[in-house]
């Protein structure tokens, strides 16, 4: 009994001694709550941290220099305009390699009806894009350097690439071979560069006026992969710089759900939109909010992604599709069946972003 009573008295004495210590600790925690993990952050602090995390993990935000390899064809001029939009919107220094190929006399298929110097296109477009770019204030304009190359070999590209670039943008003619694969001219240029690359192909109105300052109505397929997200970042950057718009398309593959009716297997189409599909589209919308570009979303149930993409291009009256693709630096530069089909059949301009 004596021991039990002393135990109770000892416990009370310890608790009374601990209470002031705990109170002092709580006071210090409230005074320095901004240093304590897990405690609520002020809205401005939370916004700043989220912005810094996004900038650190983003694709476009980490492009510090871009290399542009173009000729004077429609593809080259259209790629030059896209390069100017990227450069001006983010103040990205750019080096333009104007590639001069030997063109047979009388053959003007690779040249635009309204020829314009590619360096002028990049500079003029970059200057216009700076007005609508993500950076404002008294920042200097983007630095544009142009170099003429009469021998556009892999060695020339590789030599310049060694100076350090974060993106290679290619626009040459021809860009697509007969069966929809990337043409060897583009593949040779791409193989000389080890980093992310983008390939521009002018179609539709951009064949007639590849450098025209038109609003880009962009379709971007989203799949939830990292390279798809990087393609979406490029699409949003181009849309903002051109005062254009973006539609995010997700293709939900038709599936078959297995069940049993009367002891026999039952097959039925799976038309529902699952949580994963909704999450992918929500991520595209949030990404658009970061870039200040509203994103329209659409989902299609189709067995073939390429057919769904081509159908949406037509009914949505888009003039550009930006596809984030998985890089494959083989001899044929193949990015998959869906991009190959789009390259072969699309009547709208295309930009493939391989990262």
- Paired tokens of 222: 């989203």
Mean pLDDT, the chain, rounded, equals 78
Domain 56-354 has CATH 3.40.50.12370: yes
The answer to whether residue 268 scores a pLDDT higher than 80 is no
- Paired tokens of 2: 């004596």
| Cross-strand bridge partners of residue 96 | 68, 146
The answer to whether residue 148 scores a pLDDT higher than 70 is yes
The pLDDT value given to residue 108: 43
**H-helix or E-strand spanning residue 149:** strand 144-149
* Least confident window among 127-141, 223-237, 330-344: 127-141
Among 119, 87, 104, smallest CA distance to 242 is for 87
* Least confident window among 21-35, 209-223, 333-347: 21-35
The pLDDT value given to residue 52: 66
The pLDDT value given to residue 177: 87
| 119 prior amide bond cis, ω within 30 | no
Q: Would you say how long the chain is, in residues?
A: 355
**Domain locations in the chain as residue ranges:** 56-354
pLDDT, mean of residues 184-195: 90
The pLDDT value given to residue 97: 92
Strands (E), 174-294: 197-201, 217-221, 245-252, 255-261, 264-270
The pLDDT value given to residue 96: 93
The pLDDT value given to residue 276: 86
Cα-based angle 286, 288, 289 (whole degrees, multiple of 5): 65
pLDDT, mean of residues 257-286: 60
Q: Is 191 exposed, middle or buried (0-12, 13-18, 19+ CB in 10 A)?
A: middle
The answer to whether residue 136 scores a pLDDT higher than 50 is no
Within 10 A of 236 (CB to CB), how many other CB atoms are there?
A: 27
Within 10 A of 192 (CB to CB), how many other CB atoms are there?
A: 17
Chain mean position to CA 131? 21
* Rounded Cα gap, residues 314 and 317, in angstroms: 5
Angstrom distances, CA of residue 219 to CA of 5, 195, 222, 234, 291: 78, 24, 10, 12, 16
What is the residue whose two structure tokens read 């390429």?
A: 306
The pLDDT value given to residue 36: 53
Buried b (16+ CB within 10 A) or exposed e, 150-169: eebeeebbeebbeeebbbbb
The pLDDT value given to residue 26: 44
pLDDT, mean of residues 217-225: 96
């Amino acid at each position: 009994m004596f021991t039990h009573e002393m135990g109770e008295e000892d416990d009370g004495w310890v608790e009374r001694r601990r209470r002031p210590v705990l109170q002092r600790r709580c006071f210090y925690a409230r005074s320095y709550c901004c240093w304590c993990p897990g405690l609520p952050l002020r809205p401005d602090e939370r916004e700043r941290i989220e912005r810094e995390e996004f900038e650190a993990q983003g694709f476009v935000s980490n492009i510090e220099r871009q290399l542009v390899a173009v000729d004077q064809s429609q593809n080259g001029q259209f790629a030059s305009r896209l390069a100017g939009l990227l450069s001006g919107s983010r103040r990205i220094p750019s080096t333009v390699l104007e590639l001069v190929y030997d063109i047979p006399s009388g053959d003007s298929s690779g040249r635009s009806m309204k020829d314009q110097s590619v360096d002028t296109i990049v500079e003029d477009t970059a200057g216009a894009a700076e007005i609508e770019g993500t950076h404002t204030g008294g920042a200097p304009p983007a630095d544009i350097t142009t170099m003429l190359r009469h021998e556009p070999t892999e060695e020339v590209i590789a030599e310049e690439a060694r100076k350090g670039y974060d993106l290679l943008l290619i626009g040459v003619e021809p860009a697509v071979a007969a069966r929809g694969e990337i043409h060897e001219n583009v593949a040779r240029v791409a193989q000389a560069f080890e980093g992310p690359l983008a390939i521009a192909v002018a179609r539709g109105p951009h064949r007639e006026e590849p450098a025209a300052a038109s609003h880009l109505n962009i379709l971007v397929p989203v799949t939830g992969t990292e390279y798809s997200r990087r393609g979406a970042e490029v699409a949003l950057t181009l849309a903002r710089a051109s005062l254009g718009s973006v539609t995010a398309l997700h293709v939900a593959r038709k599936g078959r759900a297995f069940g049993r009716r009367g002891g026999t297997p039952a097959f039925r189409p799976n038309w529902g939109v699952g949580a994963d599909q909704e999450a992918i589209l929500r991520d595209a919308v949030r990404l658009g909010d970061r870039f200040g570009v509203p994103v329209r979303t659409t989902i299609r149930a189709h067995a073939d992604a390429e057919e769904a993409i081509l159908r949406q291009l037509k009914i949505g009256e888009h003039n550009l599709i930006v596809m984030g693709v998985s890089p494959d630096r083989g001899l044929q530069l193949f990015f998959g069946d869906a991009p190959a089909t789009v390259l072969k059949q699309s009547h709208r301009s295309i930009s493939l972003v391989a990262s």
